[in-house]
Amino acid sequence: MRLGEPSSLQAVINVTPLVDVVLVLLIIFMVMAPQLSKGPDVTLPDTAKPRDQGDERSRILVTIDEAGGLWIDDQSFPPERFEEGLRAAAGDDPDPKVVIRGDARLRLGQVRQAMLAIEQAGFHGVGLIAKRIGTETKGDRGHAAQQ
């Protein structure tokens, strides 16, 4: 933290405290970043080798919570308005990609229903989001507490 050169005059601004503050801010930001991801908390299924599905900002993010409720990004949708919401979320995107973040405790039928609705709304193919075993994402603590 000390600058050397005691014998000469120092006209240099001491940037060390500034750097300290910036680094602390960055660390705070880094810690908060995982909480910034869109959608409600779900416990994603753990699998051994999930494939890359791209950046969530370029996808229409459909979340199915533990109770089977449907979400598009941060907004909850009743089933009858779901397709309409999907089309609105796609906007002008010529090739929109839909991914499903389904809770690990769901039954397959609930996910299948959402897939059918997405297909009927005119989107072909979905990404089923999972996470690699051993990694943590937002909402995992709830799962751990329940087990």
Partner 1 sequence: MQLNSDVSGSDLHSEINVTPLVDVVLVLLIIFMVVVPLLLQGYDANIARTSANPVPTQAEESQLILSIVPTACRILEPPEGEGLPADCRVTLADREIPAADLPARVAELLGGRPAEKRVLFLAADNRLNYEGVLRIVDLAKSNIDDLTIEFITTD
Q: State which of positions 54-113 bind partner 1 (CB under 8 A).
A: 54-57, 59, 99, 102-112
Cα gap 80→117, rounded to integer Å: 10
Alpha-carbon torsion (101, 104, 110, 116), positive or negative: positive
Q: State which of positions 42-61 bind partner 1 (CB under 8 A).
A: 45-57, 59
Using rule CB under 8 A, residue 5 touches partner 1: yes
Residue 22: both structure tokens together: 């910036």
- Choose, by CB under 8 A, the member of 29, 81, 84, 93 that binds partner 1: 29
Q: How many CA atoms lie within 13 A of 25 on its CB side?
A: 6
Cα gap 44→143, rounded to integer Å: 9
Residue 57: both structure tokens together: 């900002």
Q: Which is nearer to partner 1, 23 or 88 (CB)?
A: 23
**What residue ranges bind partner 1 (CB under 8 A)?**
1-2, 4-8, 23, 26, 29-30, 33-34, 36-37, 45-57, 59, 99, 102-112, 115-116, 119-120, 122, 124-133, 137-138
